[in-house]
Each structure stands twice: as structure tokens, then as C-alpha cells.
Amino acid sequence: MYRQIVVLTGAGISAESGLRTFRDQDGLWEEHKIEDVATPEGYARDPEMVERFYNERWQQLHNGKIEPNAAHKALARLEQEFDGQLLVVTQNIDDLHERAGSRRLLHMHGELTKGRCPRSHQTFLLTDHFGVNHTCTCCIPAQRLRPHVVWFGEMPIGLDRIQHALDTCDLFIAIGTSGTVYPAAGFVDTANHHGAQTVEVNLVPADRHSQFQYHLQGKASEIVPQLVEQILAGEVIGEKPLSGAANV
């Protein structure tokens, strides 16, 4: 039934893998100030503090306990088995989509596993924590790498490609995102405008201002595999109820 699908994921898809979200109870923004750790100004003021924040996240991602869950795996399966076009756009900086097998993937807010040269913007895979020893190999003198993370006030990555995919998609699914950070929060309006079906998966009930046509309330790990099953079977989302989901 569908030919072109765009999936937007947020911190909620990785929550069941053990990574904290930003705005839920116990979320990262309860403990850290955005202006300190997620702005260019905060980095200019205190690079070590910002590096510590991302190093903690990096360490957690590599502690051997964090693994992709059924939702990440289902999206990787969709990529392999779907006949049409699929683009997964993630706001997450973790690499759980890649570990699950996704390849047609765009990290619009950057990647925790990379550092970036502040002068050439070239990215380098991080094999270890950030620190003064992490410098680029593209400049003389070598520059200290900064986290390859899009901070508030900076331009997200790949917006042209995302815009094109949204303009032409017939299904847009947002999974585990609070829809508070733009431009990602506005993708649903673009997809609606172009006539796509728009579906949201979230643990909490739909916001009353939600622009999604269809809201599935429940755990991403339970709902996403069923959605993928329906899409691959050529069914229209919403025609059959899903188990574990409150369909609104």
C-alpha cells in the first residue's frame, strides 16, 4: 500500500534499551542545563564540562549492556524487506539503529560516536573518550575535536534530504519523540500538507494539539514490530487494532 515512508525517531525508542530520554521524569534535562551542555556558548565557556557530559553518554553506550531493542530491529527489518523507499531520520545520537542493521539512516542531531573538526567540519570516529588528545588530522596545527552533536542554535544535519523525503512520502511515522524541538517537531505538518498518512507512537496519550492523524499509545518495542508487520503485509495502518496499543 505504501511506496515512500519516512520514520522519525526520538529518545523514546532507545528508552527500553536503557538510555535516558531528555524530558521524561528522570530525563537528562532534569539534571543538566541545556545552556551548559547543549549550546555552542556552553562549550566555549567550559569545553571539559561538555566533554564530560558526552563522555558519560559514550561510556554508557559502550558498557556492553546497551543493545538495540525490538523497535530498532523492526525498523531494520523494514529497510531490508520493504519494496518502496524508506528513510529513518533519528534525533538520537546513539548508534542503536546502526547496531540493529539500519543503513538508510540520517542522524539529524549528530552522532555520539564521532568528533568533528571545528575548522574543516570533517568527522572522525571516536574510539575513546573526548579529551585534549583528540585532535583532527586534517589541519595544521591539529584542531581539538568537538562532539559531532547538533546543539541548540545550530543547524540540524541533512535538512534538504529530509525535506525532499517528506514532500514525497505517503506515510510518516514518529516514534518516541515529545515533538518539542524544531524543525523535527514540524515534520508532521509537512507530511500532512503533502497528503501522507501520519502516525505517532508514544508511551503517553496524544497531546491535544497533536497534528498526527493517528496516535498509538504504548511501548515502542511492542507497537513498532506490529506496524512493520502490517506495512510489509500491504495493510493500511489503522484498519486493524494492534495488541498492547491504545489506538486513538
**Residue 4 or 116 having the CB closest to ligand OAD:** 116
Is 221 labelled as part of a ligand binding site? no
Known catalytic residue: 109?
yes
Q: Backbone phi, then psi, for 173, in 5-degree steps?
A: -120, 130
CB-based burial, 206-217: b 16+ in 10 Å, e otherwise: beeebbbbbbbb
Does 204 help bind ligand OAD (rule: CB under 6 A)? yes
Q: Which residue is nearest to ligand OAD (CB)?
A: 12
Does 68 help bind ligand OAD (rule: CB under 6 A)? no
Closest by alpha carbon to 131, among 117, 113, 145? 145
Question: Which range in 21-29, 120-128, 189-197, 226-234 contacts ligand OAD by CB under 6 A?
Answer: 21-29
Residue 50, C-alpha cell as written in the block: 561538555
Does 150 help bind ligand OAD (rule: CB under 6 A)? yes
Is 57 labelled as part of a ligand binding site? yes
Residues recorded for the chain: 248
Sign of the CA dihedral running 178, 184, 189, 193: negative
Is 22 labelled as part of a ligand binding site? yes
Exactly one of 33, 168, 180, 186 binds ligand OAD (CB under 6 A); that residue is 180
**Residue 123 or 135 having the CB closest to ligand OAD:** 123
Shortest spacing between CB 195 and ligand OAD, in angstroms: 25
Is 27 labelled as part of a ligand binding site? yes
Is 220 labelled as part of a ligand binding site? yes
Is 188 labelled as part of a ligand binding site? no
Q: Give the total of residues touching ligand OAD (CB under 6 A).
A: 25
Exactly one of 1, 66, 157, 181 binds ligand OAD (CB under 6 A); that residue is 181
Does 159 help bind ligand OAD (rule: CB under 6 A)? no
**Residue 23 or 52 having the CB closest to ligand OAD:** 23
Site string for ligand OAD, 184-203 (x = CB under 6 A): -----------------xxx
Binding residues for ligand OAD (CB under 6 A): 10-12, 15-16, 21-24, 27, 38, 91, 109, 150, 176-178, 180-181, 201-204, 219-220
Annotated binding site for substrate: 54, 57
Annotated binding site for NAD(+): 10-29, 91-94, 176-178, 202-204, 220
Any idea which residues carry the catalytic annotation? 109
